[in-house]
Structures are given as C-alpha cells and as structure tokens.
Amino acid sequence: MPAKKHAGLKWLGRGLFVILILLSLALIFNEQIKSWLVSSYAPSVTTKTVKSNSKKKADFNFSKVKSLDFQTVAKARMNKNSISVIGSISIPSVNLYLPIGKGVSNETLALAAGTMKADQKMGQGNYALAGHHMIKHNALFSPLYYKSKVGQMIYLSDAKNIYAYKTTTRKFIAATDVQVVDDVPGKKLVTLITCDKTGAGRLMIRGTYQQKWAFKKAPASVQKSFTSHFNNKY
C-alpha cells in the first residue's frame, strides 16, 4: 500500500476514534449538558423588552408540549430569540428564579416558565404558569416539586412592578384537571403547574395575592432576588 494512502487511512481512523470518544462523552454527560444549557439561559428582562414581547403572538396549545429531552433544549438555545420574555418569577425560599415567557411553546418551556392563557396580567385574575421539572433539583420548576411548601412567598415581576403572592395550596392533580388555570371570580391568584414524578400527573402550587410594589419600592431583599439573577435594567 502506498505510504500516502496508508497515512490517509491512519488519520481517518484517528478522526473516527475522536468522534466516537466525543459522542460517548456527550451520551455520558447528556443530563449535565442539558441542565447547563437550561440554567445558563439569562435573557434581558427590561420594561422595554417586556412591553415589546407582550405584543407578540404566542402558542397556548399545551397538548403540543413535548418531554424535555436534549434535542428540545439544544434547539431552544439555538432559537432563544423566539422566546418572548415578559417577566420573571422568584421564589427565594426554594431557590427558584426564572424568566417568564409568553405561551407554552416547546422552546419557551425548555428554558423558562410559560404563561398558560392569553392576555394574563400579573396581580389580576388567575395568573397561570407551566414549567418542566428536571433531575437537577434547581432547574426550571424542579424546586417546586422538591422543596415547595404552603406559606412560602411567590414573587412575579413585569420589570415595572413586583407582585407578591403567598402559597396556600400544594397538591397533585390529574393532567385532565385543566380548569385549575381558569379565573376564580373575586380572587387574585397565581397557579404554577409542573409534572409529577411519573410525568402522567401534575403538581399544582397555588398562591393568593398579597400586594404590589413599584419595583424600586419593594423590600431590598425582594428586589435583589430579581436583579441578581436576571439581566435586568429596571
């Protein structure tokens, strides 16, 4: 065999070996990479971006939502500009800090909490959010599953104001109990929905409205829970 051809085959073999090693590492660290892609997503949340994104159309068809696999997360990061961020949620007692995206598209739910109804307004009606939960206990809505309790405070922000709610309900429900996101006459609520351990059912966290502050008038600790976790310009 000519020396040139032999050298070429040798380099081809090495290249294939390196590719196999990289593929093996990707498979081994699949969950860690996926968690990093989710946790490192840090969009800007400003009065300007919230106002602009609030006017955009969104998909609210929850039946189209896929399970959170690596491909879905990777695609979401590549298409992160398609996520219309309209606020953020902070639950300091469980270490949950997430951007809120408009709608429940797969890209939105791969990286943020998603609004479950069109035209929701913080501090009014039943503000319903959906989110995935992952093996990593501090990613997406995972802290709700592992750490949430009645009595904990839930804060929402639209970059202009902060809205405070107190957790009153934590219970598992059937996936078909979609009425929990409906408005309740005379009540101001926040309802957070994530999957249960099996993926077949749902965990519902519900809070009742307590008060609203202009962002810079909120307690310093509450302000910090937003400013230290998001790229904010309030």
Q: Which residues are catalytic?
A: 132, 195
Tell me how far apart the alpha carbons of residues 98 and 225 are, in angstroms, rounded to a whole number.
11
Distance CA 73, CA 105 (A): 12
Q: Which residues of 91-129 are buried (b: 16+ CB within 10 A; e: fewer)?
A: bbebebbbbbbbbbbbbbbbbbbbbbbeebebbebbbbb
Rg (CA), the chain: 21
Which residues make Cβ contacts (< 8 Å) with residue 158, sequence separation at least 6?
Answer: 50, 86, 87, 122
Task: For residue 105, give Cα distances in angstroms to 1, 56, 58, 115, 188.
Answer: 56, 13, 8, 10, 25
39 is written with which tokens? 């946790």
